[in-house]
Amino acid sequence: MCGILGAWLPKNNITNQDFTSLVDSIYHRGPDEAGYLIENDFYLGMRRLSIIDLAGGQQPVFNEDQSKAVLFNGEIYNYKSLINSLKDKGHDFQSVSDTEVIVHSLEDDLENINQFRGMFAFAYFEREEQILHLFRDRIGVKPLYYIFIPGKIFAFSSEIKGLEKICDSAGIELTVNEEAIYHYLSFANIPQPITIYNEIKALMPGHHLTFDKETIEIEQYWKYNYQPKLKIDFDEAKELIHSELKESVNLRLNSDVPMGLFLSGGLDSSIIAYLAAKELNTNLKTFTIGFPEHKEFDETDIATKTAHHLGLENEILPLEYDPLESLMNINAIYDQPFADPSAIPSVEISKLASNYVKVVLNGDGGDEQFAGYRRYILASKLNNIPNLSGFNILLNQLNPKRRSMLGFLQRTLKNTGLKAEEQSIALTTDMLLDQDKKHIFNFDTAKFSTQDIISNFNLGEDAAFLDQVMHYDRNFNLLNGLLVKMDMATSSASIEGRSPFLDNILFEKSSLLPANFKVKGKNTKYILKELYGEFLPYEVIHGKKRGFEIPLKSWLSKEFQPLINQMKADSQSPFYNYLKVDFVTNLFESERYKSFNLDYLRYSVLILYLWFKEREN
């Protein structure tokens, strides 16, 4: 893991020393060393967390004649095989790092980006032509943000805070994006490519940006297209998935520094632990978060049992911290409002793990790849209803849990055979009713629509309902939620997270599986449970599914109360330029808002207030 930052500043000459201080705004992403390339109004820099080729992996990395350069954040997991093929073509390597693979591959052909298997966000600079290319990985594991104002600035960074620093140095004002706030209170995060600032965008996964000093051009080099399902039996599917998942784990075990694993009581991280320990004979140290004061959220007993079962050492990391202090720290770490409460323990466990290792494996993405959420049970049953367009339901039935009078949904639910408490559907995570939105914001919301966001995820009329819902989860909830959370949490502690379930080859293969291989009756992640059930403790396979949760309701009513009172009294805050005072007051004093999850909505508003307070400072 590293952090990259660069700019083209034709009218704002800054000293080399000034630029190095700008690069240090992302120091935490790479505390081991820094690298720079400054020429012809281009300022390119990076901070390195050394994991592969500790002595020879300095950046920028150049090709043989120094005409091409790369600044790289991430890992190319298949770099060893690519090195061999590039050497066969006559390329001369000065290191054994994956970064050098990039520069030699792309100087041959930019289309070689499709050969890379990994997580990445990097800049490729053609020095003679003065053309800069940015690439982001297919799934979006690694972030990349940019700003372009013709004739004034082009800049990019692994984090928005880097662009804030550059814009401040260049005298460019950043303005708050009303659309971002509108969607943030609907989804608890800001949907990419928009950001909290009008001027800053996220480069989307699987995209390539080209900058030539005058214009930018963005093209999509990879896109998932819905494909007919494989015509294979269940045993063949099991063999396929086991082979690909084992290979994915094996590729991610390559490291020149100590590695560990975030082990919960759940299935996904336990599978990764099993494959690493038993199939690949790797002795990983595992880390499990503990909630000593809130046993209902504690999974240490199950995780410890799993670790011992697999012969692994398990380190219990008890979260003994001040919730209010942690909340304040969260807001300083995340560049823009981000309202997943599990970011708090994610940051804390990353800090604790950094005392032992530089790299951690995790089970992220297993739910999205293999249908692990309970709402997929209904989605799989809807597959069997003739003439049912999954996408149209996704688009038209927002907030089904809160719109119980929608006749179509009622008629559909009657056909599923599920109990009332099991009738959930993966449509959106919109926390607000449209009727409430009219009374919340201090700006015109008529031009914004959550349905416009949803419409970006149409797989087409031929897609099964479960595939449509999972596609939405992978490309919206995963991208804007889990991936943002874990990248910022781990990088804040200067460690790298690796997610075997988010391998692009595994993604493509798992997408071809028939729905009934993933969900069978009320059994989610069916194929994974059938594959690994005999190798893991009973509780892991058959226990109640838990998210990475915190005692949010308790914290809102107790520990966070001083901050809530401050927010309600702080009428001069710019925060109230965007939200109505009455809405904020009523939100914390009554139950009048029929939110999908009122506590999450309250937490989202509190985080937004803290972001504005941070910006004031």
Tokens representing 319 are 């979260």
Determine the Cα–Cα distance for residues 533 and 283; give it in Å rounded to an integer: 21
Answer whether residue 424 shows pLDDT above 90.
no
pLDDT tens by residue, 370-392? 999 888 887 787 766 544 444 44
Please tell me the predicted confidence (pLDDT) of residue 391.
42
Q: Beta partners for 202?
A: 145
Q: What share of the chain is helix, strand, coil (3-state, %, to 5)?
A: 45, 15, 40
CATH label, 2-220, candidates 3.40.640.10, 3.40.1260.10, 3.40.50.300, 3.60.20.10:
3.60.20.10
Strands 33-39 and 2-8: unpaired
Q: Beta partners for 475?
A: none
Sign of the torsion angle spanned by Cα atoms 561, 564, 566, 569: negative
* Contact (Cβ atoms closer than 8 angstroms) between residue 144 and residue 203: yes
pLDDT tens by residue, 528-541? 999 999 999 999 99
Long-range contacts made by residues 278-283, C-beta under 8 angstroms, separation at least 24? Answer: 278/310, 278/535, 279/246, 279/249, 280/246, 280/249, 280/250, 280/253, 282/253, 283/312, 283/313
Confidence of residue 465 (pLDDT cuts 50, 70, 90): confident
* Contact (Cβ atoms closer than 8 angstroms) between residue 205 and residue 478: no
Average pLDDT taken over every residue of the chain: 88
> Is-above-0.85 flag for pTM?
yes
Q: Which of 485, 467, 471 is nearest to 223 (CA)?
A: 471
Indicate the domain borders of the chain: 2-220
pLDDT over 90 percentage in the chain: 66
Among all residues, which ones are annotated catalytic?
2
* Residue 505 is labelled as binding a ligand: no
pLDDT tens by residue, 577-606? 999 999 999 999 876 655 557 899 999 999
Mean of the pLDDT values across residues 150-165? 97
* Contact (Cβ atoms closer than 8 angstroms) between residue 303 and residue 564: no
Answer whether residue 463 shows pLDDT above 80.
no
* Residue 322 is labelled as binding a ligand: no
User: Which of 92-106, 148-162, 455-469, 529-543 bottoms out in mean pLDDT, i.e. has the lowest?
Assistant: 455-469
